[in-house]
Structure 1
C-alpha cells in the first residue's frame, strides 16, 4: 500500500526505458569527441545525480513529518543510498567496462532521477528505503563509478585533476538546486518539488551521457612524469590480495565517516545550534551554508587533484585531511555564531571533498588503469561504510549523549588520524610497492 501512489509512475519509467534502449542501440552521430569534451559531459552527468545526496538534509524535516518517523530511522534511507551506491560499485564497474559507459551511465541517470519522482508519492518508510535509498543508490553508483573510471583512462597524465573535475560535478551540482529546492519545498510542498526536480535530473543526465565513450586504444598516452605509477595492471582479484589496498580502504572509510556525518546531519545540528532561523548577508543561514558547501566541496576536488599531480598524493592528503580536522574543531567552538558557522562550514567541506580525487588517482597510480572502474568500485565501498557510521550511528550517538560534542570529537579524531597515516604509513609503503612493480 505504501507504493500505491507511485505505481502509475512505473509505467512512465518503463516507456522511457524502452525509448532509451532504442536510442542507445543507434550509433552515436558525432563520435569524434575529444578528452576535454568527455570531461565536460562527465561533469554534467555527475551534477545530475548530486542532489539525492547533497540536498538530502533539506528533505529530512518534511519527510519525518510526512511519514511520522524519528530521525535515526529516516537516516537509514541516506545510508542505503550510499551503501547501494558503493557496495555494488565493483559489479557496476565491471558492467561499464563490458558494455561501455554510454549505455550504463544512461541507465544510471534515469534510475537516479526517477527515484525522486517515485519517492514523492510514497507514504511508508520501507518504501522510501527501497525507492530513494535502493533505486537511487544503484543509479548514482553506476554513474559515479562509470564516469570516474572513464576519466582516469582519458587523462593518464592528469588523473588527479580529471577525477577531481568530474567529482566536482557531483559535489557542486547541488549549488544550482539547493536554494530552488529549499524555496520550492516551502511554496509547493514535498511531493511537487521532488517530482519536478526528479524529471529534470533524469533528462539532463540522460542527454549528457549520450556523448560518452572509451578512449582509443591504438595510441595510449604516456603516464605522468610527476607521480610514480606502477607498470603492472592489477585485476581486482590481484588488488584485493594486497594489504596496501586495505590501508587505502580504511583511510577513505575514516574520511567518509567524518564528511558524511556533516552532510547527512547538518540541518539537524544547525537547528540545535540555533542557526537554522538565522540570517547571514541577507539570506537564510542554512541554505546559504549548504550552497557555499557545495561550491567548496566541488572546488577542492580538481584543485587538490591538480596539486597532487605535481607534488605527490600523500603530501596533499596530509594537508587536506588536517585542514578538515582544524576546521571542524573551530566550527564546533564557534557553533553559536551564525556568520562563522556559515563560513567555517565551507572550510570543512573544502577539507573533505578532495578524497574523491586523491583516492581514485592514487589507486590507479598504484594498481594500473586497465581495470580502473572495477578497481575503484572496490575502494568506493568504503564510502558506504562511512555512511553507516556518519549517518544512523552518528544520529544514535547524538540521541544517546544528548549533544553533538562527542559526535564531532570522533569525526575530528578520524581526520587527524588519517592525515598522519597518509604521510607516515601510506607514502613509504606505496613507494616500495611501486618500485617493486615498475
Structure 2
C-alpha cells in the first residue's frame, strides 16, 4: 500500500476533501447576485426573466436530489463528484458567451443545478458513513464549507467583473472552481469495513432502510415537515432581508462606521456557516432532538427580538447574526438524524428525499413572504409566521419527534 493511498483512508483527510468539494460548488448560488446586473445588460432582459435562471438552479439542486443520491450510491462518490464538479464549472464557462436567456437557463440553471446537487448530496452522504460517531459535526463541517465557501470568491469575482468584464470572469472562475473541485474529488474514498471498529457498527454500515420503505414511515414525514418549516422560515429572511431592511429604515444606517445592511449580510454568512459544525457537535453529545429544540427555539426568540427592535441599526445587525445562527444548523442536524434513524446503506439516496424540503422552502418562502407583505402592507405578519414556524418545529422536535423516533428505532432493532 502506497503512502498516498494510506493517507486517503484517513477520515480527516476525507473530511477536508469534502469541505473543498463543497466550497468549490458554493459560488453559483451565493454570488449569483453579482452577475444579475451585467447579464441583464448583455442579454437585454428583465430581472424577472433573469431570475428564472436562479429558480431552475435551486429547484434542480433540491428536487432531483433523490435521483442524484441514487446515482452516488450506485456508481460511487468519486465518479459522481467528479462529474458534478465538471458540470458546475462548465455551467459558468458555457454561460460566458451566451446571447439568449433561454440558453442561460440551460447552462447556468440546468447544468449548474444538477452539478451542485450531485456534489452536495454525495459529500453529505459520504460524511455520515465516515463519521458514524460524530455525524453531526462532520456533516456540519462540509455544510459550512458550502455555506461560507463563497466568501473566498465574492470579492475576487466582484473585482474581476470590474476589470475583465462578465465573459472573462465567468470563463476564468468557471475553470477555477471546476478544476479545484475535480482535483479534490479524485481523493474521495468510501470507508471500508476495516474502518469500522465494533461489530455493531459493521452491522449498521451493512444494513439500512431502503428509500421505498422509509417513505412509508411517519417519522420520515415528520422530519420532512419540520425541515420544510425551518427552510421556509430561513428563506423568507434570505429572500426579503433587503426589502424589510429598507422598510425598517436600516438601509442608510451605519454601525461602527460601516453600512448596516452589508455588515449584517457579512455576519450572517459567517454565523450561518459556524452554526453547522457547532450544533452538529452539540447534537453528537446532547442528542439530536434536544439540540433541535434549543436551536430552533433560539431562532424563534431572536426573530421576536429582531422585529421588536427593528428600527435600531445595532440590534438589527446583531440579531440578524443570531437568527442565522439558529437556522443554518438544519443542514447538519437533519441528515445526521435521518442516518441515525434509517441506517447507512442507503444514506445518500435517503437524504436526497429529505433534502427536497429545502426545495419546498425555496419555492414558498420568498413568494409567500412577498405576497403577505403586499396584502398587509407590513412585515409584522411575515415575522409572525416565521416565529410560529420556528417555535412549532422546536416543540415538535421535543414532544413528537423524540418519542416517535425512539419507538421506531426500538421496533427496527427488534
Give yes or no for TM over 0.5.
yes
1:139 aligns with 115
The 1:274–1:171 alpha-carbon spacing in structure 2 relative to 1, beyond 3 Å, is same
Is the deviation greater in 114-123 or in 135-144?
Answer: 114-123
Distance in 1 between the 2:342 and 2:207 partners? 7
Greater helix share, 1 or 2?
2
**Aligned equivalents of 1:46, 1:263: Cα separation in 2:** 20
Paired residue for 2:392?
A: 417
CA distance in 2, matches of 1:124, 1:272: 35
1:5 is matched with which residue? Answer: none
Cα 1:254–1:222 change in 2 (3 A) is: farther
Q: Secondary structure at the match of 1:233?
A: coil
Q: How does 1:81-230 map to 2 (within 5 A)?
A: 81-185=57-161, 190-222=166-198
Rate the CA distance shift 1:205–1:98 in 2: closer, same or farther, 3 A: same
Deviation at 1:415, TM superposition (A): 1.1
Residues 425 and 75 (structure 1), Cα distance of their counterparts in 2 relative to 1, 3 Å cut: farther
**1:326 to partner: Cα distance:** 1.9
Distance 1:193 1:405, change over 3 A: farther
Which of 46, 57, 77 is matched with 1:69 structurally?
A: 46
Normalised by the length of structure 2, the TM-score is: 0.88
| Alignment check: 8 A CA contact 1:157 1:222 kept | no
Distance 1:349 1:164, change over 3 A: same
Q: How does 1:10-409 map to 2 (within 5 A)?
A: 30-32=4-6, 33=8, 34-60=10-36, 67-71=44-48, 74-185=50-161, 190-222=166-198, 233-409=208-384
Segment of structure 1 superposing worse, 320-329 or 259-268: 259-268
2:252 and 2:175 mapped to 1: Cα distance? 30
- Whether contact under 8 Å (1:230, 1:367) holds in the other structure is no
What count of residue pairs does the alignment treat as equivalent? 407
Give the deviation of 1:70 after TM superposition: 4.5
Q: Which moved more, 1:339-348 or 1:38-47?
A: 339-348
Structure 1 residue 82, shift from structure 2 partner:
1.9
Q: 1:400 to 1:194 in 2, by over 3 A?
A: farther
Q: Give the direction of change, closer, same or farther, for the CA distance of 1:223–1:343 in structure 2 (3 Å limit).
A: farther
- Aligned equivalents of 1:200, 1:309: Cα separation in 2: 35
C-alpha distance in structure 2 between counterparts of 1:328 and 1:418, whole Å: 14
Say if 2:206 and 2:344, in contact at 8 Å, map to a contact too: no
For the 8 Å contact 2:248–2:311, the answer to whether it is kept is yes
Q: 1:41 to 1:95 in 2, by over 3 A?
A: same
In the TM superposition, residue 157 of structure 1 has moved relative to its aligned partner by 0.7
Q: Give the conservation status (yes or no) of the 8 Å contact 1:115–1:136.
A: yes
State the Cα RMSD in Å: 2.8
Ranges in structure 2 where 5+ consecutive residues have no aligned partner: none
For 2:208, what is the secondary structure of its paired residue? Answer: coil
Deviates more, 1:370-379 or 1:58-67: 58-67
Q: In the alignment, what sits opposite 1:433?
A: 408
Shift in CA distance, 133/281, structure 1 to aligned 2, threshold 3 Å: farther
Deviation at 1:85, TM superposition (A): 0.8
